[in-house]
Amino acid sequence: MRFLSIMGLACTLVPQRFFGTKGILINMFVKNVLAALLLFGLAGLAHALEGYAVDPETGLRMERYRAPVPADVPGGVTLSNESAAQMHGAGDIVFIDVYPPKGLGPDPLDGFWVTNEKRSTIPGGVWLPEVGRGTLDAEAEDYFKRNLARLTEGELSRKVAFYCTADCWQSWNASRRAIEWGYTAVHWYPLGTDGWLEAGFELQAVQPVNFLDDTTPGPGFPDSASIYLIDQKGEEFNIGTVVFSGQEGGAYGVDVDIDSAGFEDQFLSMRPFRCLTGSAEWFCYLPYPYELKKTITEDDLTELEYQLLFIWKSPKSFGIDAWNGVYYKLSMNADGTLSGNLLQGDLNVLANPPEPYSHPIDLMEFIDEGAKNRLYPSIIIRP
């Protein structure tokens, strides 16, 4: 871009009447002007980046990416917190997060990024890790190029904004690369997610784009979340917490702690239970009595569901009957929360030990008929 602008300026310096028979003289003149302007432009760029340890050959930062950055990126537009928020609100720009997570990088077999580090980004932002390094191998460069083409729908004039955290050279490098590849509306947001948060805007959980198939996993799970039963009026009742721990391949460890002052200890059918009482229907928590791997994915929440079993009963009835079993079938929402609706069925299947780490509850035998008549017909789990 800089070279082309110099070319155009040089041509304007040559009077039109000199074109023709004096081509050789003109050619020498243009070459001299181009050389002078090119040296001037490069000198200006070098002066602007003086003291920033940028590689003189590539024009990129090659190491120590967390350090003070320049005020601008050559050929791009620098965004402030205010202008970034305005463009985000307009919805006509692609925000690309290039934050480098700690970990082993992408798994060569399935393309998932091997990291336990969680990342929150600008809402709607796409996370392409590590594409702002000073040197990219062929696979990483292809990952960056094809996803940039995908996100811009192949339009080099599409607005894109690169960011990371504050003082992050990887977003600067990524901007420079996109400009070199011909993108003409490159924006750089140097304050990144730090500036966005400090300006009072919200961040949302994000997962990195798969290194091999370019799919984007869901938002992932938070470190911990609260569990709420929702009654027929829509009022929420906190019954405990769930702790998530990241594992490889998109899996998460999950551990539930049902602990609320609203539970009362009851001894029913020769067994201790903790029950929510004080209404026309009791809800008694049933801890799953066998071993679980306690591992879930966004597409399989079974082992979390098994830790949220209940039995409902009438306060007038004697004892407790596992025939009145409650199972909350969960699903993950776009905002990262988990919600579920009540299914009713027979939990007597748990009377006999199943195969180790198996799931003996057959949801084909559970129904949602009459579920809305139960005291807590739904559940939600959120940070």
To the nearest whole number, what is the mean pLDDT of the chain? 86
**118 φ/ψ angles, rounded to the nearest 5 degrees:** -95, 150
The residue with tokens 């966004």 is 298
- Residue 114: its pLDDT value, please? 85
- Rounded distance, CA 266 to CA 279, Å? 15
> Which of 116-120, 201-205, 238-242, 288-292 shows the lowest per-residue confidence on average (mean pLDDT)?
116-120
Token couple for 175: 């901007």
Q: Check whether 45 has a pLDDT greater than 50.
A: no
Q: Check whether 170 has a pLDDT greater than 60.
A: yes
State mean pLDDT over 345-366.
Answer: 96
Q: Is 217 helix (H, G, I), strand (E, B) or coil?
A: coil
Report pLDDT digits (tens) over 97-110.
999 998 889 999 98
- Residue 103: its pLDDT value, please? 86
What one-character-per-residue DSSP string does 211-265 give? TTT---------SEEEEEEE-TTS-EEEEEEEEEEE-GGG-EEEEEEE--TTEEE
State mean pLDDT over 43-64.
Answer: 70
pTM of the model: 0.56
Q: Check whether 23 has a pLDDT greater than 70.
A: no
- Rounded distance, CA 226 to CA 243, Å? 9
- Helix ranges restricted to H, 91-238: 138-151, 169-180, 192-198
State mean pLDDT over 325-350.
Answer: 92
Token couple for 98: 């290039």
Selection from 307, 120, 338 nearest residue 226 by Cα: 338
- Residue 218: its pLDDT value, please? 67
